Structure 1
Amino acid sequence: MDGFAGYATAVDHALPAARKVMDPFHIVHLAADKLTGCRQRLQRETTGRRGRKDDPLYKHRRSLLTRTNYLTDRQKQHLELLWDTDDDYVALQVTWDFYQDVIAAYSHPRRTEGKKLMKRLINTLRKGLPSGLEELAQFGRTLWSRRDDILAYFDIGASNGPVEAINGRLEHLRGIALGFRNLDHYILRSLIHSGQLQDRINAL
């Protein structure tokens, strides 16, 4: 399940013997949201406005959300330059480090070791953080309140990731045909998209 407390309450009421598992997809997504929130806050604090295409924080927003071992050499250089050139971004770097730690825990080839990494991360955030890390503190409170459900993944291995991926594709497919009142046109547009024919049609 995701982090919505209502789901957990419903499961406890209807299936008291069931073991709840917080899905890695949602935990990583929550960490990414906190990282983005920190970036946006620092953007406003340092410039007094939202990000623009030439602003360093906005320009490298995609690199910040990329897993470390998927970063290109150029992206790594950009992030290193970002950390080294401005002390105002220290909070972002710390939040980014924890975001990467969450991914590392889930991607560890041995679940027992991954569980240890996640426990250490949860306990570290629980001990308290200095001011300026509000988003990370919120993330830590969520991890602590649902720690049993989060750690259960490493024992059970159940994940809703494949279903979430399919649902995401279906939502995107539904979105591309919005505004089409003719059912035949809706079906045709969906088939074109699903068959990845858009580029070939445009080339004609």
Structure 2
Amino acid sequence: MGRPRQFETDAALELAMRVFWSKGYEATTLPDLLGAMRISRGSFYKAFHDKRAVYLAALERYNRTRVEETVTMLQSPGTGTGKERIESLFKALSERPDRSGCFLCNAAVDRAPHDPEIEGRVNAMVQRLEQGFRRALEGDRPDIEPYLLDEAAKSLVVSYLGLQVLDTAGLNAQMAESCRLQVKRMLEAAVGEGKTAQRSAATAVNANPSGNDSA
């Protein structure tokens, strides 16, 4: 009997998330949630207690689904190089037909400034995405300096979240393509720096193959 209840809970949270996503936390009322989740008032209070608990559960569901899927894709070496996976992600975002945006971005603006617990969860999800980008890059260039990986990963997270915010605002095709090109240049620059570092190390070894310091 436990599995059907869990399935119903997940389905109800998905519907509740859409209400919070579209209306915002403060504007969402209990009748809004009851109608969307298709549960009685008694079932609501038994399962979630209050609106904030539903919001936290919906945010965690977004973490377990959307964020998890993105991070898994970025870290899956069987689906191309890290650079190719990153470019594929941005291509899919820029070509998405709807303007749904991102619940993580929504929470960062709508609730994180007012609720320390939500702020912590938002930051944790952002860090998960950053780590996903970092590992994708690291898989292509294990020789690159850690600080360069960190900078590139942070820049990619900013572009990833920014693209979705602009998408919600009606991002046009030209702006989406511009964002994709900027990401492509960023990745090419990171690859170039990795190769330059590798060539520099190889040159140093060839110049002094014994490894002895001439000084």
> After TM superposition, is the score higher than 0.5?
no
Structure richer in helix, relative to its length: 2
- TM-score normalised according to structure 1 size: 0.28
Q: Normalising to structure 2: TM-score of the pair?
A: 0.27
| Structure ranking higher on relative contact order (CA contacts 8 Å, 6+ apart) | 1
